[in-house]
Amino acid sequence: MKKQNKLIILLIILSFTLTGCTRYLTDAENQGVINEETGQRLPLNILCRPTDQNIIDLYNEHEDQAGFVVSDLPRCENMRLHDPNREVGLWDQIFVIPLAWYIVRLALIVGNYGIALMLAGIAIRIFMIPLTLKMQKQSENMKKAQPEMANLEKKYKDKKDNESMMKKSQEMMGIYKKYNVSPIGSCLNSFLQLPLFLAFLGAINRTPAIFEETLWTLQLGTTPWVGITQNGNYLYILLVILIIVTTYMSFKFNMTMMGNSDQQKQMKFMLNFMLVFISIASFTLPTAIALYWIVSSTFMVVTNFIFKKLKKKD
Q: What pLDDT score was predicted for residue 67?
A: 72
Least confident stretch, 168-182, 190-204, 294-308: 190-204
Q: What is the CA radius of gyration of the chain?
A: 23
Q: Does the structure show a pLDDT above 50 at 168?
A: yes
Number of domains in the chain: 2
Residues 171 and 204 in one domain: no
Q: Is residue 227 part of a domain?
A: yes
Range of the domain at 154: 141-178
* Average pLDDT of the segment spanning 8-15: 52
Query: Considering the domain boundaries, does residue 106 fall inside one?
Result: yes
Residue 203 lies in a domain: yes
**Domain for residue 188, yes or no?**
yes
- As a whole number, the mean pLDDT across the chain is 76
pLDDT tens-digit map of 216-242: 888 887 888 877 887 778 888 888 888
* Pair (44, 65) in one structural domain: yes
Confidence of residue 262 (pLDDT cuts 50, 70, 90): low
More confident residue, 12 or 218: 218
pLDDT score for 88: 67
Q: Mean pLDDT over residues 96-123, rounded? A: 89
Q: What is the pLDDT of residue 2?
A: 45
pLDDT score of 191 more than 70: no
User: For residue 136, is it within any domain?
Assistant: no
Judge if 202 and 85 occupy the same domain.
yes
Task: Return the minimum-mean-pLDDT range out of 18-32, 119-133, 137-151, 201-215.
Answer: 18-32
Question: For residues 63 and 6, which has the higher predicted lDDT (pLDDT)?
Answer: 63
- The pLDDT, as a whole number, for residue 270 is 66
Which residue pairs, CB below 8 angstroms and at least 24 apart, start in 267-271?
269/5, 269/8, 270/8, 270/12
Query: Residue 9 has what pLDDT?
Result: 53
Q: Are residues 154 and 103 in the same domain?
A: no
297 and 223 co-located in one domain: yes
Q: Report yes or no on 271 lying in a domain.
A: yes
Query: Do 121 and 220 lie in a common domain?
Result: yes
Residues 91 and 19 both lie in one domain: yes
Closest to 54 (Cα-Cα) out of 66, 42, 65: 42
pLDDT at 10: 56
296 domain-assigned: yes
Do 280 and 164 fall within a single domain?
Answer: no
**Pick from 178, 205, 235: which residue ends a domain?**
178
Per residue in 139-149, pLDDT (tens digit) is 777 777 878 88
Residues 73 and 108 in one domain: yes
Q: Is the pLDDT of residue 86 over 70?
A: no
Specify the higher pLDDT residue, 164 or 242.
242
Amino acid 3: pLDDT: 47
pLDDT at position 109 is 93
Does residue 194 share a domain with residue 53?
yes
Q: What is the mean pLDDT of residues 202-206?
A: 83
Higher pLDDT, 106 or 261: 106
Is residue 154 a part of any domain in this protein? yes
Closest CA to 93 of 103, 83, 78, 85: 83
3-10: average pLDDT: 51
Do both 99 and 169 map to the same domain? no
* % residues pLDDT > 70 (the chain): 77
Q: Looking at the structure, do residues 93 and 193 belong to the same domain, yes or no?
A: yes
